[in-house]
Chain A
Amino acid sequence: MGSTRHSTANTAAPGFEIRIPGWFRKDYVRLAAFALIAASLVWKGSLFARGYFFGDDFNFVARASEQGFGFDYLTSSYGPKLLPVGFAVAWVVTRLGVYDWTLAWAALLALQAATSFAVYRMLRTIFGARAGIVLPLAFYLFTPLTLPGLLWWAAGLESVPLQLAIALALTSHVLWVRTGRLPHAVAACCWLVLGFASYFLKAAVAIPLLALLVTLAYEGGRPALRHAVPLWTAYAAVFIPCAVLYAARADTSDQPVVVPPLDDSLLFLGRLLGRTYPSVAVGGPGGWLGGLADPTALVQVVAVALLLGFALFTIVRRPGAWRAWAILVAYLVLVDYLPVLLGRGTFELQALEPRYLADAALATALCAAFATLTDTGERAAIGRLAPVVGLLTGAFLVASFLSGETYAGGFEAQRVKAETYMNTARATLAALPPTTDLYPQRLPTDVLVYAGVGEANLSTHILSPLAPPALRERMRHPRPSATPKMLDPQGRLTGFHVCCGYIVPDQGTRCFPASGGAITIAFGSSGDPEVGGFHYLDGVAGTATVQVGDVAFDVPIGAGDGSAYFPLEEKGSALVVKPNPPLTQLCVNAAVLGAAGPSS
């Protein structure tokens, strides 16, 4: 080292020293892996920073805000899914800051960081501390396959902990097979539960499948499998209660499980695994249509050629490599294709969504490592090909970066709009007196592009978490009011109007006729969330009772001319208004019922 310093001084290079901790020194594989993980996190963080909550995310926050942390909340169904881990993270994040995007993505990025380290540990455990594991790790860290399943918060809350569970469970499984020590078995079962709690349908297939195939093909074969019967029994013991719970709680009414016809199923297969998977895996697709991969024909051909060429090359050069690729094919079909087909097979465009393939990045990295690293002497094999491998790696990194740019760029305008709206709404609500009557309304469609599974796009649900506690209660339980308010499309406070037109008394009469003190105005309400109201003349301060269908409530009446409005979610055929003592009569000269919107 002394001579180095001496000769460096000769060249008059600027001198600076960075102290590297002892445990880090010399372990270049770890150094490289950590550097790559850090770089990938910076990259993914920069993409997160350009995003915002989208679609289901809003409902995740609203649910977390409305419900306490407990079994009911954690195991509440979200369409055909249970995601206790995702809901737990959403709950903690929401309690720390409502609709705080930075906090939300930082939490998810922390999970991704843990997953990245877990994948590194998995590769290092299985293949040892050799330089060759850096390449599959780099593939996992930088392939755009994981991006759509990460950058969309609701999707990431499912898919990232799933990947974490797969990596950890597989590591513990292999360690147990090799050592037979009890703690590894306990850990493997815990990680299996984590997987079930993250994304039951995928974890239930992915983890056992990989554990089985890896053991069979590379970790001792059948004898090892026979030897592992106790562990598999433990897995089953963990699986059964989870499956029962899942079956009891999941609700498939919104997204029924359907087996599409054969040609549709094949089309879906071709799209998902023939187009989306290869083109995104190798750094594509280059172009996106929203969240859908939109690779050019050239990208598709190059991608398929690269993957097939790589697989064939390893199969020809290495006797056992075909098993790795067989595992990958089985994984892709059983974990990434079949569950998606059953749930979403009728929507063929969803075969172009790489977020269903995020966990395939991990499986691909693992299988590629099996195909290239299992024999000794891989260095001699790679030796002459090193420049080609380097070239492809460099090209892959640049292509991935570009695909990430176009992905984030495509959403940026909508995300900025949504964030601006939510920030304005937050400021508006913070400044309102707690007695303000904010009536339920739908959020603008460019803010909440869609409302999520079985959820209403209503401000009572989505926006109330932003309000101070008193106002929040009133938003969630709107009352009759003479002056209801709404938010305009920018999130500022505004008046409201009810669509579409008023009912007025017969021509020549000033008021609706009253009989027995009660005024009955015929109009039909559908039971959907609506707003009703009436206008009166020469009122005296007091109250009147309104009855629609089976519900009755009091509305305030002011002195002189005025209006009274009330939210309504009741089926009925008439509006009955009855002034309460000391009022004896009320002149109602117009009534209204319909969907409310901001007055512009």
Chain B
Amino acid sequence: MTESPSVTHDLTIEVPIPSWARPILRDRVRVLAVLMGLVSLGWQGYLLSRSYFHKDDFRIITWSAENGLDLDFLFRSNHGQLMPGGLGLTWLLTRLEPYNWNLHMGALLLMQGAAYVAVYVLLRRLFGARRAILLPFGLYVFAPVVITDLLWYSAGKSSVPVQLAMAGALAAHVSFLRSGRRRHAVAALAWIVFGLLFYLKVLLLPLVLAAVTILYGSLIAKPRFKVFAAWWYWLAQAALMGGYVALYTLLGIAKGSYVPIGTDHPIGPVAYTVRVLAENFVPSATGGPLRWQTGVGWANADPPALVVWAACVIALAAIVVSVRYRRHAARAWGLLLGWVIFVDAGLTWVARASEMSGWEPRYTADAFPLLAVCAGLAFLPLAGEAVPYRRQLPEPPVRGFAIGLVAGVFVIGSAASTVAYLPWLMVDDHVAYMANARAALRTAPPGTDIYPRPLPPAIQHEQPDRSELTSRALAPIAPPALAARMRDPRPSAHPVVVGDDGKLTPMTLFGGLLVSKTCYPSYAIPLKTAGGPDVFGAVNYEAAAAVVATATVGGERIKLPLTAGSGTIYFPIRHDTTSMAISAPGVSVCVNAVAAGAPVPVRR
């Protein structure tokens, strides 16, 4: 007799929902919001995995590797920006492991996820736990500008904290309006401080808080808490603003701006504002721009004309419909437009307007938490609001169709726009270069002399502080001894440079060789150069015996190890000079050719 109890009974598998999970799952709105956030973060994570370090990233990582976590480093001007938070974050990530893209990716995703949570909390606080808040929430988490802004570390690490600080401060402010509790006020102030650590735009966040209070204060809080009576709250904000301006001015941060701050720009303020609004913000707020063009980061928006028109029509329709049905909707749109026009367009125009910058997603991404809030204010009733609408709303099918239509356009448009961004992430050369450089530096024989030259221009262009030189930008991934020698190169008979593929390659000096038929007089060898971190000299010599000669170049004395017979030796020239001298006591040395210039790879 065979017994098989496993077939005689039906198998029922029960997956018990643990008691702690039940209340979580019961909150449908939260579950859906989390799902939406995760979908967006997953897509952003995939896109980030296809991105890499680019341009300015190399400068701040180089700085982070070269400096301790001191005030001089944290409060320096990064192209006109004060960003102790961003520099501190980069410093931390660089300390963990220099140029580890996964670390930067993780940090960006964490910040973005935090911003999603903050916007969700804000919406829920304003409008209550209704499913409708998922619509403005979706407007934020699926906005193509928000998604693509994250893909360049330098942009994301400044812009995402602004989004986070804005939502956080607004949420705390709303609670303060309702409760009057001091801890909410302190939280709002803390969010402002947090944001100021990352980006100057947060300077204007107190104005948003004040505007929300004036425009919607009595609707948000009933009975109305006299928030303006909390003078210390507003005074603290004013103090933060004033303090920031003073610090910014005293430190001379503005001087570092790569575009002079002012009103002299290649594009006028009106044209620039129209571009920011109609060809950047509004298209992205409706799922565009569908097409991208070359930009300072990876890519800028390039919406086709029909997309611009369609987006403006949709935006206008949203405004008209909301104003027709929802009380006070115009205020919300005024607040949003005020931020986009005066902060995203106006401030950026004054600071760094170029022909291209109006199309840059990173300059409008911070408006999207506000868009979520204002779209909510323009359509949804505030929690506890008695008479939100002016008139009978259209029948549910009409409403449902309209909402579905806009959502369909937005979501499919967003998917298409972000997919269209993928080809612009041209990282293959960057990744190969850094991988090769990492391997080459790790396996370089001891005593290798790597002379500096710029990173390939597609990866980083020339910087005022020459941080794009391999001696500085690549030193963080070299073993310590080699890194020290890269930063402080010595005279060498066989120096090498990092080639455009990231591999070590023999070098020569760019420019000609000055050859003499006889020996140059050793006390006056003609050598005219301005000197600099990537300027090197070379001499051809005949030495009777091996000797360490002393060269005097640009007021600096350098020891040159010469071998017996004929040879070439390279040496750094840091300062300007018109001639050099060589002395080799007791040994006859004949210098018959001399050169000065920048190291370049020898074509093999």
**Contact pattern, A 362-392, Cβ under 8 Å of B = 1, otherwise 0:** 0000000000000000010011101111111
Interface string of B399-424 (1 = CB under 8 A from A): 11111111111111100100000000
The answer to the question of B438 belonging to the interface, with a C-beta cut-off of 8 Å to chain A, is no
Q: Are B403 and A398 in contact (CB under 8 A)?
A: no
Name which of A4-12, A81-89, A343-351, A473-481 contacts chain B: A4-12
The stretch from B39-47, B261-269, B365-373, B390-398 touching chain A is B390-398
The interface residues of chain A lying within 8 Å CB-to-CB of B525 are none
| CB pair A394 B397 closer than 8 Å | no
Q: Are B401 and A386 in contact (CB under 8 A)?
A: yes
- Whether A43 and B407, one on each chain, are in contact in the complex, defined by CB atoms closer than 8 angstroms, is no
Chain B residues closer than 8 Å to A383, beta-carbon distance:
396-397, 400
Question: With A and B bound together, what is the CA distance between A387 and B291 in angstroms?
Answer: 28
| Contact of A386 (CB < 8 Å), options: B328, B390, B400 | B400
Q: How far is the CA of A373 from the CA of B397 in the complex (A)?
A: 16
* Docked-complex contact B390 and A387, CB < 8 angstroms: no
Given A8-B323, A402-B290, A402-B416, does the pair A395, B397 have CB atoms closer than 8 Å?
Answer: no
Is A42's beta carbon under 8 Å from chain B? yes
- Shortest beta-carbon distance from B288 to chain A in Å: 10
Residue on B nearest A398 in the bound complex, by CB: B412
B307 to chain A, nearest CB (A): 8
* Cβ of A191 under 8 Å from chain B: no
Across the interface, which residues of B come within 8 angstroms of A7, CB to CB?
327, 390
Is B287 at the interface (CB under 8 A from chain A)? yes
**A394 & B398 in contact (Cβ 8 Å cutoff):** no
Contact pick for A11, options B291, B309, B330, B410, CB 8 Å:
B330
For residue B406, which residue of chain A has the nearest CB? Answer: A394
By a CB distance below 8 angstroms, the chain B residues around A11 are 323, 327-331
Residues on B with C-beta less than 8 A from A384 are 400
CB distance from A101 to the nearest CB of B (A): 19
The residue that A394 contacts in the complex, of B309, B391, B400, B410, with Cβ under 8 A, is: B410
Supposing A379-B397, A386-B397, A398-B409 touch, asked if A391 and B306 sit within 8 A by C-beta, the answer is: no
Least CB distance from B59 to A in Å reads: 37
Tell me if A399 counts as interface (CB < 8 A to partner B): yes
- Select the residue from A382, A401, A405 with max chain B CB neighbours within 10 A: A401
- Whether B305 contacts A46 by the Cβ 8 Å rule is yes
Q: Does chain B have a CB within 8 A of A242?
A: no
User: B410 contacts which chain A residues (CB < 8 A)?
Assistant: 394
A554 to B306, CA, bound (A): 61
Q: Provide the bound-state CA to CA distance between A13 and B205, in Å.
A: 25
A402 to B328, CA, bound (A): 37
Are B323 and A394 within 8 A (Cβ)? no
Q: A13-B323, A386-B396 are in contact. Are A391 and B404 (CB under 8 A)?
A: yes
Q: What sequence of 0s and 1s flags, for each residue 23-58 of chain A, a beta carbon within 8 Å of any chain B beta carbon? A: 000000000000000000011001000000000000
Given known A-B contacts A42-B306, A382-B397, A402-B290, A390 and B412 have beta carbons under 8 A apart: no
CB atoms of B330 and A12 under 8 A apart: yes
Query: Is A397 part of the contact surface with B, judged by Cβ < 8 Å?
Result: yes
| Any A CB within 8 A of the CB of B304 | yes
Q: A390–B323 contact, CB under 8 A?
A: no
Min CB–CB distance B332 → chain A (angstroms): 10
Chain A residue with Cβ nearest B416:
A402
Dominant secondary structure of chain A at its interface with chain B: helix
Instruction: Tell me if A314 is interfacial: C-beta within 8 Å of chain B.
Output: no
Any B CB within 8 A of the CB of A423: no
Structural contact, B323 and A386, CB atoms closer than 8 A: no
Give complex CA distance A22, B410 in Å: 35
CB pair B407 A394 closer than 8 Å? yes
Query: In the complex, A384→B406 CA distance in Å?
Result: 17
Instruction: Out of A13, A42, A382, name the residue touching B330 (CB < 8 Å).
Output: A13
**B319 CB to closest chain A CB, in angstroms?**
8
- Chain A residues with CB under 8 A of B412: 394-395, 398-399
Greatest chain B CB density within 10 A among A46, A384, A402 is at A402
**Chain A residues numbered 381-427 whose CB sits less than 8 Å from any CB in chain B:** 382-384, 386-399, 401-402, 405
Contact A387 B290, CB 8 Å, known A394-B406, A395-B412: no
Residues of A within 8 A of B402 (CB): 390
Which residue of A388, A399, A401 contacts B404 across the interface (Cβ within 8 Å)?
A388
Q: Is B323 a contact of A391 with CB atoms below 8 Å?
A: no
CB of B323 within 8 A of CB of A389, answer no
On chain B, the residues within 8 Å of A396 by CB distance are 408
Chain B residue nearest to A401 (CB atoms) is: B306
Nearest CB of B to A41, in Å: 12
* Smallest CB separation, B391 vs chain A (Å): 8
Min CB distance B397 to A, Å, is 4
Q: In the complex, which residues 283-333 of chain B have their Cβ closer than 8 Å to any Cβ of chain A? A: 287, 290-291, 304-307, 309, 323-324, 327-331
Interface centre among A7, A388, A395 (most CB of B within 10 A): A395
Q: In the complex, what residues of B have CB within 8 A of residue A401's CB?
A: 290, 306-307
Contact A393 B390 (CB under 8 A): no
Per the bound structure, the CA–CA distance linking A303 and B412 in Å amounts to 15
Distance from A600 Cβ to chain B, minimum over Cβ atoms (Å) = 36
Shortest distance between the CB of B548 and any CB in chain A (Å) = 65
B401 A390 Cβ-Cβ under 8 A:
yes
Least CB distance from B390 to A in Å reads: 6
Q: Which of B324, B391, B401 contacts A387 (CB 8 A)?
A: B401
Cα A379 to Cα B396 with chains together (Å): 11
When the two chains form their complex, are residues A390 and B330 in contact, meaning their CB atoms are under 8 A apart? no
Are B407 and A391 within 8 A (Cβ)?
yes
Cα A397 to Cα B413 with chains together (Å): 10
Task: Give the distance to chain A from B387, nearest Cβ to Cβ, in Å.
Answer: 12
Q: Which residues of A contact B400 (CB under 8 A)?
A: 383-384, 386-387, 390
In the complex, what distance in Å separates the CA atom of A405 from the CA atom of B413? 13
Q: Which of A43, A46, A393 is B405 in contact with, Cβ under 8 Å?
A: A393
Residues from chain A with a CB closer than 8 A to the CB of B307 are: 401
Instruction: Assess A394 versus B409: contact at CB under 8 Å? Given A7-B390, A11-B323, A386-B404.
Output: yes
Taking CB atoms, residues of chain A closer than 8 Å to B287 are: 398
CB distance from A524 to the nearest CB of B (A): 56
CA of A330 to CA of B405, assembled, Å: 32
B396 lies within 8 A of A397 (CB): no
Tell me if B306 and A394 are in contact (CB < 8 A). no
**Bound-state Cα–Cα, A37 to B413, Å:** 22
Complex CA gap A394/B410 in Å reads 8
Complex-state Cα separation, A485 to B329, whole angstroms: 72
A398 to B291, CA, bound (A): 13
Residues of B within 8 A of A379 (CB): 397
Complex interface: chain A residues within 8 A of B390 (CB): 4, 7
In this complex, what residue of A is CB-closest to B403? Answer: A387
Residues in chain B near residue A392, CB distance under 8 A: 404, 408
Q: How far is the CA of A388 from the CA of B398 in the complex (A)?
A: 12
A3 CB to closest chain B CB (Å) equals 9
Chain A residues near B404 (CB-CB < 8 A): 386-394
CB contacts (< 8 Å) of B401 on chain A: these are: 386-387, 389-390, 393
Complex contacts, A13 vs chain B, CB 8 Å: 323, 330
CB distance from B337 to the nearest CB of A (A): 11
Task: Report A-chain residues with C-beta under 8 Å of the C-beta of B290.
Answer: 401-402, 405
Q: A residues within 8 A CB of B306?
A: 42-43, 46, 401
What 1/0 mask marks residues of chain B from 326 to 364 whose CB sits below 8 Å from any chain A CB?
011111000000000000000000000000000000000
Please, could you name 28 A-B residue pairs with CB atoms under 8 Å apart, sorted by A?
Answer: A4-B324, A4-B391, A7-B327, A11-B328, A12-B330, A13-B323, A13-B330, A386-B397, A386-B404, A387-B401, A387-B407, A390-B404, A390-B407, A390-B408, A391-B404, A391-B405, A391-B408, A394-B407, A394-B408, A394-B409, A394-B411, A394-B412, A395-B412, A398-B408, A398-B413, A398-B416, A401-B290, A401-B306
Using a CB–CB distance below 8 Å, which chain B residues touch chain A? 287, 290-291, 304-307, 309, 323-324, 327-331, 390-391, 396-413, 416
The residues of A with any CB-CB pair to B shorter than 8 Å are 4, 7-8, 11-13, 42-43, 46, 379, 382-384, 386-399, 401-402, 405
Q: Told that A382-B397, A386-B399, A387-B403 touch, could you supply 9 new A-B pairs with CB distance under 8 A? A: A8-B323, A387-B401, A390-B400, A390-B407, A390-B408, A395-B409, A396-B408, A397-B409, A399-B412
The 4 closest A-B pairs by CB, nearest first: A394-B408, A390-B404, A386-B400, A387-B404
